[in-house]
Amino acid sequence: MILVFGRTGQVASELARLAPEALHLGREAADLADPLACAAVIRGHAPRAVINAAAWTAVDRAESEEALATLINGAAPAAMARACAELQIPLVHLSTDYVFDGAGDQPFAPDHPTAPLGAYGRSKVKGEEAVRAAGGTHAILRTSWVFSAHGSNFVKTMLRLGAGRESLRVVADQIGGPTPARTMAAACLRIAQVLQDEPAASGTYHFCGTPNISWAGFARAIMAEAGLACEIEDILSRDYPTPACRPLNSRLDCSALATFGLCQPDWRAALKDVIRDLKGAS
């Protein structure tokens, strides 16, 4: 049995679809604000692998609630990793491009030094460091710009706003790889499987969609795929201030995915599927 932390997030929702036989734990069963309880759940069920697809993801709110964000994103993964190490089972832990400062225009390699710009990124770095320090079999899987047919995400926001407006202003100086939650979930399951037989594959990896694009470019692709006439106006990040700074460069070097027989998904194909699913649900 695989134990999955998270039920309602985008990747967690897709994990529930792809692996219904796994034990999927929501906040009512395993609250990440109680790290010791999370560790106890792992010890109590003794699964063959653990996937942590739960996290504090309110990037802007983390600026004013950093202690709580760090408890959930740092202390909880630490407790999970120690429990997994004790039981000698692999842990797949999801992380983010926000651990980097977004400088330059080249893809960040997994071993590039972290330098988060804000509280959310700092909390995720704490979690990564703790997972490594536990000394067990693990994969830290960083991703960016996740989208799907459920949860809150950029695609759904653009479709909602684009249906009622003639134009939208979207930042064009932040570049990254939109990541389909469904392929991210499938990658988590594949990595968990490989790690059970090959613990030496432990390490930090990147997984995101291709090709890289700006938020404005992604918005145009969404409008075109959905058949919406809403025009997208390019703006700079400084024209749309937020409490938390966003990295301008979210490009990730995903070449190490070959270790698990994986490659980057084409987000354009996934976007078609997501919009079709959303239209079918409406």
C-alpha to C-alpha distance for 37 and 45, rounded to whole angstroms:
12
Q: At what angle do helices 267-281 and 215-226 cross, to 10 degrees?
A: 50
Active site residues: 120
Joined together, the tokens standing for residue 222 give 């969404």
Q: Put the strands of the sheet holding 138-143 in their side by side order.
A: 23-25, 2-5, 49-52, 91-96, 138-143, 203-206
Residue 231 dihedral angles phi and psi, to the nearest 5° = -85, 145
Look up tokens 């560790």; give the residue: 39
Other beta carbons within 10 angstroms of residue 226's beta carbon come to 18
Contact 155, 221 (CB under 8 A): no
Other beta carbons within 10 angstroms of residue 206's beta carbon come to 25
